[in-house]
Structure 1
């Protein structure tokens, strides 16, 4: 209970559940839930000076005068509260919020923040942010990410209460596992400056200290993991033998330079003394699966078994079918295990796996069940590894004795950044696409082109091809986004494309229902798939030739590129239409990059230059803990310095038990990613 959110005033079980939706389970979590931006409330403007012409919100302070509640018609209320100071007045209004009336009484002092506009011959502030009393600290007011049921003031009150509690109980404030050279300011002051800074400079100075400490801890965990891996005896494979030579000979294509280099890296790892821990990152369609097949062939010819785990059943089936084609007529037994495998077939399969007659097992989460026993597992391949939990990946690896491990991901990032991020993994990058693969033609257009786009989609589907439509993100409410997606699906299904079979997938669907829809789309039974931005990564539908991304201005460059990768996976020319409703200069630049650049690595570099911050190609999904203050892109120099200091600390000798305990406190359950990813 010491660290429970329910210790804070006004937070019971129900409210605690709302905070938990934001990942805030404890007071320490709340103190690390930093604002996403700040409103400048450093200057109080007198009501006489407050001017609505600039269109910017202002901070005013005054005394409440008249309070009036109007009911112009049934089901509608308007609350009007006059705010006065010695220079003038403004009328604050709220629509359909009758409960607000109880918050005010004549003569009380309040601070209001909002836009001042002229309406009906008087100055008004429509739904301003109001707090009782004079401004807190005359600084910058935090703006937090929210969930349905929580408002900004709820977060601010809770954070203030948590900071007050931390003054009496400093252990609530997360601390680095070892004091770093950047740990100069008192911890309480640093957290206060992050949440309620007086100046931008103060906030950035506090952020840098916390970011450095966070990155230092992360690097300590990665280096400890590397040390642990280095002490294990791996499976030392021999030089390439006849099975690999036969597989190379019957490949229906020549490997690209990137594929060849990646396999040479894997070959050297597997012929070494230490278990391989390698990540292959390559753009969508770059041929990572073939490299994985070569690695599995190498482990098989050395007398061991291999396993490949995919995040969805449809992807596992596609891998199985591809492996059957690649290993055609070769003496390798390949099997598929998913949740849909029949009981009788499963029993036979497990017996053969335990006996060692099945050499390569491909499947989903079904591979990690307790009764799945390998005779001698030597290589574990995890596809789209960020889709699995730490325990799931570890459970598969534990079925062998220090097996080699290969991760695959389709989210490329710049090489120098990868080396900083994956201090514990060796990284291979595949940059080229296989010969013959056509570039996806990409066009950024406005709303006026919608009907022409629909006509083009109709023409493609009439020729037997398939299309995706990705729904726009509306706001930070999953409910609202889902409603928008359902509405667009209904419109397309009934009014626009009634002659074609349509399907809808979204993040709230049960897994089996989503898999069933995706399978129908993959088989061609569904011609148009409407989806939120959670389209299955890696699903291979060569017949899908067009993707329309509605509201493209709301998506980041990385996400747009990943979505584009859903098409262009066959011999037909594919198209990506970016339908933007509005956008800033940065948005226009982002869409221009999408039109002109098709290489994921080059786009990653542009993203780095364009944004300088934020999640670059989903780096948080690569098994690292969620970072609260640090930004991998903006803080890449801090990360390098933190890695160097962490290495020096470990070399000088440190109490590892203390370090591990501190890392567990900071990162919680996600700490396992540092040691087991």
Structure 2
């Protein structure tokens, strides 16, 4: 037993945070299993289980007692008796320090409370002050300060004593040197039925957290460099844990939160710095890259000038490709800003030097759109080394394509998820272009990168990402942004209408289509559902085609259609053989039909800001005036109202992304499964943008962490968190 104790003490001295939670008094196997179910195995895990909110339970001035208010009072028990009536209840008579009489009433757990509330017992009680024949508190929160129990005989309703019964629950008699449940700011913790069944409600968590902090007193190591602690005026780590769980006052709580947020973000940014330096150790196979004659010809033949942002992005990529290290760039641009052209001009520098390029898109429609767009940019130039590799195609065709790719005859591969398959081999893969990269998992991105010898990476997204998210998700990449649109494009007018305007909207569609323009009408569902009362795209297609626009060609496209049929419809629409296209969000990204000038989004309140903005981006791609109509019922939720008003008032995707971040939070905004957002315990990407910038600056200044810190932060933020692992 002695050896066991000394071993535990040694562990505390070395790193007590790694001790199992079972070292805490009262945490046995059953309670430990409940804690493990929410990821709490060690004292470190427990300390990082932060309160969800706090209640001010500081003592109330006895002179200012008012009914209806929540009060916290120190009282002494005078007597206790059972009162009978419609509902039996225990009435505990108490007095405050000013001798104000207050009754504490319990309707439940009467036998239990009879045992512990005996004359002379002092407690802190918190509850709503009511008045019925005097002040009273009904079922208040409480904490016993001094117990007057000298025997195990409870007080009866008449004051007589009963024979000895079972012992009182130990945990209700406070042995703590300070109040933790009342008389102060108290923390409230997330819980569940499983946790509560083990006594792990907020009260239970306060007990074990207090015990953990007492056990670790003076033994929690400081992991931030001393220079940073002094420079940024941070409190020590141990103090921050104590104040976050048991704050002295609001200022102390704010100081503790700031320190712990700083620590979390600093170490995350150190990991990013480490990953950057790891990448810098890798040497590029293909460098430097000479200029591309083909790229120069394409630029010369363009019927428009590149925007300033496009030129800036191309120049930055050129500078990066002239270095020894492989490039990893995230190119983000608003819808219609010309990212595909930047990607093509970049790719041609590799292709002209007989280096293969692979461009991957999340959907077949988008891959085919890129293929057609790139062919149109290349025009009549003799360029035979480009292939489209998608899922469904004849085996012979696929085999021949794979052979040409493996041999190196095909220099530019544009495809979907099919390029990840094991039978796809490249001869000299030098550049990987990933469009809408957040729609691919980390493993998929790594698989594609592994098909070459440390190829360069150009990731693209048409979904504007708030700066704080960019720094967090893609801090290990070089970030390039295209905001400006090609000259000559007119801003899209966005209107929010309800059902009473539908007839007028159909008249407007007829007017624009009659003048030679085209229109999208988007629905959230493919088919009718019994679960939600929404119009489906198939149902609407039949109605619009036969009842509203019988004199126009109305087309239908949705995700459940065969690929060949989808392609046929999109080709017909791009040639203006179909004037009105009814669809689901399958057209959300990459569809480029400049003649389309009207977008109607049905049940627009069912879409997020990002999706609405992407859909809106399908129009306004030419030099004609364009419109986006958001249709809803007369009643929408408050959140939906904010989204719709934002769409009407803002056309800038980056401004909208900041609003979306505030509304939905980073997890929903990016899609938790694919994005790999770090599992921050306390930092908030919506509120801590300044701290993200500050810790990024400090992490860059202080360089790589030491071995211990590196392992710790790797444990907190796994390798799969960033875009590409090393």
What SS does the aligned partner of 2:291 have?
coil
Task: Tell me the residue number matched to 1:646.
Answer: 699
Shift of the alpha carbon at 1:255? 2.1
Task: Tell me the residue number matched to 2:181.
Answer: 136
What SS does the aligned partner of 2:534 have?
helix
Is the Cα–Cα contact under 8 Å of residues 313 and 338 in structure 1 kept in the other structure?
Answer: yes
Shift of the alpha carbon at 1:433? 1.7
Rate the CA distance shift 1:418–1:392 in 2: closer, same or farther, 3 A. Answer: closer
Shift of the alpha carbon at 1:618? 5.1
Does the alignment pair 1:231 with 2:286?
no
Shift of the alpha carbon at 1:577? 2.5
Rate the CA distance shift 1:186–1:322 in 2: closer, same or farther, 3 A. Answer: same
Does the alignment pair 1:51 with 2:101?
no
Task: Tell me the residue number matched to 2:550.
Answer: none
Rate the CA distance shift 1:429–1:490 in 2: closer, same or farther, 3 A. Answer: closer
Rate the CA distance shift 1:344–1:436 in 2: closer, same or farther, 3 A. Answer: same
1:28-69 superposed Cα distances (whole Å, 9 cap, x missing partner)? 6675465565555557799994539xxxxx578999999999
Pairs within 5 Å for 1:533-552: 538-540=589-591, 542=593, 545-548=599-602, 550-551=604-605
Shift of the alpha carbon at 1:376? 0.4
Rate the CA distance shift 1:566–1:142 in 2: closer, same or farther, 3 A. Answer: farther
Does the alignment pair 1:216 with 2:272?
no
- 1:628 alignment partner, one of 663, 681, 686: 681
Task: Tell me the residue number matched to 1:350.
Answer: 402
- Give the whole-Å Cα distance in 2 for the aligned partners of 1:606 and 1:341: 42
Rate the CA distance shift 1:493–1:390 in 2: closer, same or farther, 3 A. Answer: closer
Is the Cα–Cα contact under 8 Å of residues 283 and 411 in structure 1 kept in the other structure?
Answer: yes
Rate the CA distance shift 1:90–1:468 in 2: closer, same or farther, 3 A. Answer: farther
Rate the CA distance shift 1:644–1:432 in 2: closer, same or farther, 3 A. Answer: closer
Rate the CA distance shift 1:16–1:590 in 2: closer, same or farther, 3 A. Answer: same
- 1:456 alignment partner, one of 505, 513, 519: 505
- Give the whole-Å Cα distance in 2 for the aligned partners of 1:43 and 1:496: 67
Shift of the alpha carbon at 1:355? 0.3
- Give the whole-Å Cα distance in 2 for the aligned partners of 1:457 and 1:43: 66
- Give the whole-Å Cα distance in 2 for the aligned partners of 1:494 and 1:512: 15
Shift of the alpha carbon at 1:214? 1.6
Rate the CA distance shift 1:243–1:48 in 2: closer, same or farther, 3 A. Answer: same
1:160-194 superposed Cα distances (whole Å, 9 cap, x missing partner)? 57736854886999985867526955646534544
Rate the CA distance shift 1:451–1:254 in 2: closer, same or farther, 3 A. Answer: same
Q: Which has the higher contact order (CA 8 A, sep 6+)?
A: 1
Is the Cα–Cα contact under 8 Å of residues 537 and 582 in structure 2 kept in the other structure?
Answer: no
Does the alignment pair 1:323 with 2:374?
yes
- Give the whole-Å Cα distance in 2 for the aligned partners of 1:67 and 1:198: 42
Does the alignment pair 1:283 with 2:334?
yes
Unaligned runs of 5+ in 2: 1-17, 94-100, 118-123, 131-136, 145-179, 546-553
Task: Tell me the residue number matched to 1:488.
Answer: 533
Is the Cα–Cα contact under 8 Å of residues 457 and 546 in structure 1 kept in the other structure?
Answer: no
Task: Tell me the residue number matched to 1:667.
Answer: 717
1:71-103 superposed Cα distances (whole Å, 9 cap, x missing partner)? xxxxxxxxx9989887899999xxxxxxxx9x7
Does the alignment pair 1:465 with 2:508?
no
- Give the whole-Å Cα distance in 2 for the aligned partners of 1:151 and 1:514: 51
Shift of the alpha carbon at 1:229? 2.4
Does the alignment pair 1:163 with 2:209?
yes
Shift of the alpha carbon at 1:431? 1.2
Task: Tell me the residue number matched to 1:98.
Answer: none
- Give the whole-Å Cα distance in 2 for the aligned partners of 1:529 and 1:82: 65
Shift of the alpha carbon at 1:593? 5.1
Task: Tell me the residue number matched to 1:261.
Answer: 312
Task: Tell me the residue number matched to 2:349.
Answer: 298
Rate the CA distance shift 1:537–1:529 in 2: closer, same or farther, 3 A. Answer: closer
Root-mean-square deviation (CA), in Å? 5.7
What SS does the aligned partner of 1:627 have?
coil
Pairs within 5 Å for 1:121-200: 136-137=181-182, 138-142=184-188, 156=202, 160=206, 163=209, 166-167=212-213, 180-181=228-229, 185=235, 187=237, 190-191=240-241, 193-194=243-244, 197=247, 199-200=249-250
Is the Cα–Cα contact under 8 Å of residues 502 and 530 in structure 1 kept in the other structure?
Answer: no
Rate the CA distance shift 1:140–1:286 in 2: closer, same or farther, 3 A. Answer: farther
Is the Cα–Cα contact under 8 Å of residues 589 and 614 in structure 2 kept in the other structure?
Answer: no
- Give the whole-Å Cα distance in 2 for the aligned partners of 1:192 and 1:255: 57
Does the alignment pair 1:599 with 2:616?
no
- Give the whole-Å Cα distance in 1 for the aligned partners of 2:348 and 2:701: 40
- Give the whole-Å Cα distance in 2 for the aligned partners of 1:363 and 1:237: 27
1:448-475 superposed Cα distances (whole Å, 9 cap, x missing partner)? x34325863697499673323569xxxx
Task: Tell me the residue number matched to 1:307.
Answer: 358
What SS does the aligned partner of 1:382 have?
strand
Pairs within 5 Å for 1:526-605: 538-540=589-591, 542=593, 545-548=599-602, 550-551=604-605, 561=613, 564-565=616-617, 568=620, 573-577=626-630, 594-603=647-656
What SS does the aligned partner of 1:248 have?
helix
1:200-248 superposed Cα distances (whole Å, 9 cap, x missing partner)? 4333222211111122112212222222222322222443232212322
- Give the whole-Å Cα distance in 2 for the aligned partners of 1:537 and 1:287: 16
- Give the whole-Å Cα distance in 1 for the aligned partners of 2:603 and 2:614: 11
TM-score by length of 2: 0.65
Task: Tell me the residue number matched to 2:439.
Answer: 387
Rate the CA distance shift 1:387–1:614 in 2: closer, same or farther, 3 A. Answer: closer
Moved more, 163-172 or 356-365: 163-172
Rate the CA distance shift 1:356–1:300 in 2: closer, same or farther, 3 A. Answer: same
- Give the whole-Å Cα distance in 2 for the aligned partners of 1:518 and 1:169: 66
Task: Tell me the residue number matched to 2:387.
Answer: 335
Shift of the alpha carbon at 1:339? 3.7
1:397-439 superposed Cα distances (whole Å, 9 cap, x missing partner)? 2222222211212344677996798653322221112344443
Unaligned runs of 5+ in 1: 53-57, 70-79, 93-100, 117-124, 472-482, 506-510
- Give the whole-Å Cα distance in 2 for the aligned partners of 1:350 and 1:169: 64
Who wins on radius of gyration, i.e. which is larger?
2
- Give the whole-Å Cα distance in 1 for the aligned partners of 2:531 and 2:556: 10
Moved more, 574-583 or 629-638: 574-583
Rate the CA distance shift 1:199–1:521 in 2: closer, same or farther, 3 A. Answer: farther
TM-score by length of 1: 0.69
Is the Cα–Cα contact under 8 Å of residues 222 and 675 in structure 1 kept in the other structure?
Answer: no
Is the Cα–Cα contact under 8 Å of residues 337 and 366 in structure 1 kept in the other structure?
Answer: yes
Rate the CA distance shift 1:669–1:379 in 2: closer, same or farther, 3 A. Answer: closer
Task: Tell me the residue number matched to 2:483.
Answer: 431
Shift of the alpha carbon at 1:392? 2.2
Is the Cα–Cα contact under 8 Å of residues 469 and 666 in structure 2 kept in the other structure?
Answer: no
Moved more, 340-349 or 222-231: 340-349
- Give the whole-Å Cα distance in 1 for the aligned partners of 2:621 and 2:193: 39
